[in-house]
Amino acid sequence: MARPHRYYYEISFGKRLPDDEELLHQCDVTICVNPDHLQPGSKSDNMLDRSAKRRFSNGSGIRGMDRRGRALRARQLRDEIKANGWTQDRVSAILAGIDPEQPALF
């Protein structure tokens, strides 16, 4: 049994990661399985990344988003990708809290 992002990373690069190695989400989207957004590293690397990006486990969650907000965002991303595939502009809009159907000004 493996987490989806780890499984997909290992399939994409054709090598198994050691059990003590983690995958850091450079995009900070915990449901992301895009291997270009994943970087192998240690637990220490992950904690340093978390601190640098001000993601603390003090209840505020990722960038101030609580668990319910993250779950809602994860469902929105899942539904978007299922419906339209990975479209960077649309995914970025959802991550920014913007309706992807909203027309851009320029």
At 2-48, the pLDDT tens digits run 778 888 888 889 989 998 898 888 887 777 888 888 889 998 888 88
Q: Tell me: do 19 and 47 sit in the same domain.
A: yes
Alpha-carbon gap, residue 106 to 102, rounded angstroms: 12
Q: Tell me: do 14 and 47 sit in the same domain.
A: yes
Asked whether residue 10 is assigned to any structural domain, the reply reads yes
Higher pLDDT, 31 or 57: 31
Is residue 40 within 8 Å of 64, Cβ to Cβ? no
Please report which helix (H) or strand (E) contains residue 46, including its range: helix 43-52
Q: Tell me: do 17 and 44 sit in the same domain.
A: yes
**Residue-level pLDDT at 77:** 85
Strands (E), 6-78: 22-25, 38-41
Task: Tell me which of 1-5, 55-59, 80-84, 100-104 is least confident.
Answer: 55-59
User: What would the two tokens of residue 15 be?
Assistant: 């090598």
Asked whether residue 57 is assigned to any structural domain, the reply reads no
Looking at 52, 70, 86, the residue that finishes a domain is 52
Q: What is the pTM of this model?
A: 0.50
Asked whether residue 101 is assigned to any structural domain, the reply reads no
Asked whether residue 17 is assigned to any structural domain, the reply reads yes
**Residue-level pLDDT at 61:** 47
Asked whether residue 72 is assigned to any structural domain, the reply reads yes
Show the domain range for 70: 62-95
**Residue-level pLDDT at 57:** 56
